[in-house]
Structure 1
């Protein structure tokens, strides 16, 4: 018996090669197609081999694992599948590997397959869209031009846009009438026309033309897999394959259902108002999620997704006999707020870095998120930014994150949203708190003296009720916070609150 594995390389670079939402959505759908049973069925029919659904052990997130008993079918798969996939999406590379296993060494061979795939990924490959100097280049990508579109405007010269083969495939994949596979997966195909293909339709209702890129990832998946390996070391190959396949399918189901639940709570309202829905799922595979959405809805969506994912894994693991390996999974998320014209590959890198930062600071023990508002034209390394910009000279952190879901730790996402709402009152002098951060960076003593004057101003300007509500909101974030004492555990939430204010608009 044989175990075959294939993994798509360069998914992020392929999807976010350009800033055109239509091509991003098209690229995302192409990746999603390669892992579908329908795509495998079309391939097997064209190349005359048999792939049984029961033998497909994993097909999500650009990864495929299939068990073969027929060596001839396996040889056809190895010979033809990479070229078949790469010809459907110029710009990606498919790595593949295989191992032979017996009745009692499946777990060992499964790990060997993953090791082989890791080695293959590091090998150089020849792209199908390589170019020679005589070829006309596509201005946006520098790759060989394959096709062009001519846009006619009355009274103006025709506008010509050139496409390379990969971007042409992405563009064609979103032609009118073609329903996104991800929307079908989320059971939203009936309203697919309300999901935008232009970034302006996502950003237009935000006061500062901001959008959000959200990346979420499950915690401690590796530990659960290790526990499964330990518990199944003496089990039959059939039992091992069934458990791992159930695990993969229940993670996928938990993720899909969580995205759908969060969508219903935060974006269904736009459908009811007969508006464009400012939301686009880009990657939903395994426990990984990447979406682009309206900045104003990002915190609410992410909080609801994290809570739903945690609840769904607990429920599904119990129903399918997996709770013995782990009761449930938590997840962390990063939210990168940026202008609609900011290079998306940088924003996605930042969202992933924020997600990793949330995992590190929470020790992967609870569901939480970290966010950042990109305000410069160039931003790449988040850890360097934290070190250089978010730590005062005396070591006080201007970052209060991570923010946790309800029932975990403080501060919660809910308390952050409430604090932002309270500080958005037009009577609150936000400019003074920006000045306070500047003074705090000089020294803690300067900051304390300045905050005393700001607090006196707040008491004179605000009613007792408003002043009390502001203090209550800060207390919900941390018991040590008050308007006259904005530092707790050597960090302050004011920079985060001001960041949200600049994202969501309103009084500066």
Structure 2
């Protein structure tokens, strides 16, 4: 028998969601994508009169459905082509401007070979941009928000606004509940998710929000290896195993997000008398091993840490029944990037920074286990935009976080911080949290330490003197060998964060690439986004 795989995936999901820069439009785009593979896809299959279940003489089997992608196995290529053509038209009508890819394998004697054919084609399609037709002429009125041809005047806003077709469709979904229900099923919390940054999103006096992007590690490799392991299985076993694996990952990610959100819900209800308060949290993407959200600055670190830890726990729990397959690890890990911006700054640029931070976290984590069978440790990298808006961490690092003393570079960040049970080789986020809490105590002389951190950018020699004076003053206040003193706690945490190869007179460690690195900028960022008086 000849098998044909039909694969579909949405490209550049976050770019589509963030294209207008208005939170209400982002919400609508998120909800549109969340519902896209539900009723619309069922309707397409129904119109073609296709029946599921190859084993029972049906037309197709799902091996994946969710996270803006699906995979279908056919034994009749013409039926796959008919669905592909119809589905492309449906997408154009429901989600104009959405970039996506579709591929159908040439045909193979095994599901595994057919899957690999279609997957290879789909990977090449990611390099191409979906054309938007017809091309608008120079006399067409443009949407001020997106620059695309406008199709209507939206009078439902505070002030009438010309909008393009994609924005019009997104706003039709802005009240849909699918994505919100993943985080708060049936609105059990009694809270609401904000859709307006001006009137609904609660922020503290710092006005910082964290844009979080989290992504699982090595899922692509696991999928490829699983396909090879199933190469000799029947078509039904192949699709069912893949479908189960996909559903387990989706469930684990959703449950991890719910558990991480619970403390935010609790604190929000605790601090207000409102019957249905707005949460300082807006989900944008939740599917597969991906999560994107906007979080109030004071909650962003805790949510990110909790999500990464719960993701490890929940994947271990849900993958337990699939351990008969060598390709499937005991659990999965994830990395995250957290970009802090003011709530009135462009979310799209903030997301691009978050995405580059996630990439940095992945690179640092993968380097620790390269060539071994160990799991990539969960980690996170964060950055606060304090000057001009920079979308790429590789640009921000030398420009904003690096001081120079001749040819010696001093980076005020340790980069990736480890979270979870596999991150013992990375500086621990919990240790940075303990250091931040330690410096909340006025006995730690925050003023001189803040002055020292500022001096690092101006003059390393002067910074050395400032740090030496701070240490002398602290030693006068506390007995050197008192293990309970704040100074002893500081020295212990410094050793745990920096490890070996310490600088002789500054709280920096020499990295493998020759630069000196420190936690000082990271601690300052954490304190700044939470506010000076936040405990």
Q: Residue 378 of structure 1: which of 389, 392, 417 is its match?
A: 389
Q: 2:362 aligns with which of 355, 359, 363?
A: 359
Q: Does 1:344 align with 2:364?
A: no
Contact 2:252 2:311 in 1 (8 A): yes
Q: Report the alpha carbon displacement of residue 385 of structure 1 after superposing the two structures with TM.
A: 2.2
Residue 493 of structure 1 aligns with which residue? 519
Please state whether the residue corresponding to 1:396 is helix, strand or coil.
Answer: strand
Distance 1:354 1:124, change over 3 A: closer
Deviates more, 1:247-256 or 1:220-229: 220-229
Measured against aligned partners, the alpha-carbon deviations of 1:447-488 in whole angstroms (never above 9, x if no partner) come to 332211122334457898443444444345345689975223
Instruction: State whether residues 317 and 323 of structure 1, in contact with CA within 8 Å, keep that contact through their aligned partners in structure 2.
Output: no
SS at match of 1:267: helix
Question: Could you report, residue by residue, the CA deviation over 1:22-76 in whole angstroms, capped at 9, with x for unpaired residues?
Answer: 110110111122223x33112233x333152771211222212112234553233
| Structure 2 alignment gaps of length 5 or more | 54-59, 370-375, 511-515
- Equivalent positions of 1:131-170 (< 5 A) are 131-150=136-155, 159-170=159-170
Q: 1:260, 1:500 → 2: CA distance? A: 24
* Contact 1:219/1:330, CA 8 A, preserved across alignment: yes
Query: Could you tell me how far 1:497 is from its partner in structure 2?
Result: 0.8
Match of 1:477 in 2: 497
SS at match of 1:107: helix
- 1:415/1:477 contact within 8 Å kept: yes
Find the counterpart in structure 2 of residue 16 from structure 1: 18
In structure 2, which of residues 31, 50, 64 is the aligned counterpart of residue 29 of structure 1?
A: 31
Is residue 4 from structure 1 mapped to residue 6 from structure 2 by the alignment?
Answer: yes
Q: Partner residue of 1:44?
A: 45
Q: Is the 8 A contact 2:44 2:86 kept in 1?
A: no
Deviation at 1:232, TM superposition (A): 2.7
Partners in 1 of 2:142 and 2:251 — Cα distance? 42
Q: 1:122 to 1:361 in 2, by over 3 A?
A: closer
> Is the 1:129–1:144 Cα contact (8 Å) retained in structure 2?
no
Within the candidate set 435, 456, 466, 1:419 is matched to 435
Among candidates 199, 205, 208, match of residue 207 of structure 1: 205
2:312 aligned residue:
310
**Secondary structure at 2:232's aligned position in 1?**
coil
Contact 1:86–1:128 at 8 Å: present in 2 too?
no
- Aligned-residue CA RMSD (Å): 2.9
Please list, as runs of the form range in 1=range in 2, the aligned pairs for 1:103-502 lying within 5 A after superposition. Answer: 104-128=109-133, 130-150=135-155, 159-175=159-175, 178-179=176-177, 181-190=178-187, 194-200=192-198, 204-271=202-269, 273=272, 274=274, 275-321=277-323, 324-325=326-327, 326-363=329-366, 365-393=376-404, 394-407=408-421, 408-409=423-424, 410-440=426-456, 445-459=461-475, 465-478=485-498, 485-489=506-510, 490-502=516-528
8 A Cα contact 1:99 1:112, kept in partner: yes
Per the TM alignment, residue 205 of structure 1 is displaced from its structure 2 partner at its CA by: 3.0
Secondary structure of the equivalent of 2:9?
A: strand
**Native 8 Å contact 2:33 2:68 kept in 1:** yes
1:263 CA displacement: 1.1
Q: How many residues align?
A: 497
* More moved, 346-355 vs 425-434: 425-434
Work out whether residues 266 and 300 of structure 1, in 8 Å CA contact, stay in contact via their aligned partners in 2.
no
Q: CA deviation at 1:225?
A: 2.7
Q: TM-score, with normalisation over the residues of structure 2?
A: 0.85
Q: Distance in 2 between matches of 1:199 and 1:458?
A: 44
Provide structure 1 residue ranges, at least 5 long, that are not aligned to the other structure: 154-158
In the superposition, the TM-score normalised over structure 1's length comes to 0.89
**Aligned-residue offset at 1:347:** 0.9
Helix, strand or coil at the partner of 2:32:
helix
Secondary structure, counterpart of 1:223 in structure 2: helix
Distance in 2 (alpha carbons) for counterparts of 1:204 and 1:352: 24
2: distance between equivalents of 1:292 and 1:323? 36
CA contact (8 A) 1:19 1:341 kept: no
SS of match in other structure, 2:319:
helix
